[in-house]
Amino acid sequence: MRSSRYALVAIATLTACATKEARRTDTASPATATLAGAPSVNQAAVRHEIESMMARFDSAGVRGDTATLASFYAEDAIMMWPNLPAVRGHEAIAKGFGGMMSAMKLSALKLRTEDVIAVGDYAVETGTYDLTGQAKGAKASHDVGKYLVLWKKQPDGSYKILRDISNSDLPAK
């Protein structure tokens, strides 16, 4: 009897905590779903803008252009890359890119956007990366993986990276 009372309390609590997202009536795929009350966003236009920026990011990475790489990040951005502590803030991210580019030369970088979900002033991008680089005094190495980026619309209408996290698909050494 006691356990059934707890089960009823748990069910009532879960039901009361259900979100608008959980109760939405549309059956669209995640990339085209919208949240009730959020302003309408042109999904295709946001995706096109993000893909265009990622092409410039690829090019800047291969050129070692740390200023351009850092320009994609908001002032309060957080970058969470594998095997490193989180880097917080635009200035720290710019320094991080500087350190990375002085230690390694990228010969190839390809970021591929797989999905973009835009709601209000935010867009979430999921994608994959394929890169080849060579650390000083070492032989070239190749890595493939995935990433998740949260973009935030700026007052001028452009998007900047607010959160950036990635990890490798390759097994740990």
pLDDT in tens, 34-64: 555 667 899 999 999 999 999 999 999 999 9
On the question of pLDDT at 31 being above 70, the answer is no
Tell me the pTM.
0.77
Spatial contact of 125 and 163, defined as CB atoms under 8 Å apart: no
Report the distance separating Cα 33 and Cα 27, nearest Å. Answer: 8
Residue keyed to tokens 């867009």: 123
In this structure, are strands 141-153 and 73-80 parallel, antiparallel, or unpaired? Answer: unpaired
Segment 66-84 mean pLDDT: 95
CB atoms within 10 A of CB 149: 25
Report the distance separating Cα 169 and Cα 131, nearest Å. Answer: 12
User: Domain 40-168's class?
Assistant: alpha beta
Strand runs labelled E in 28-121 = 73-80, 87-88, 104-119
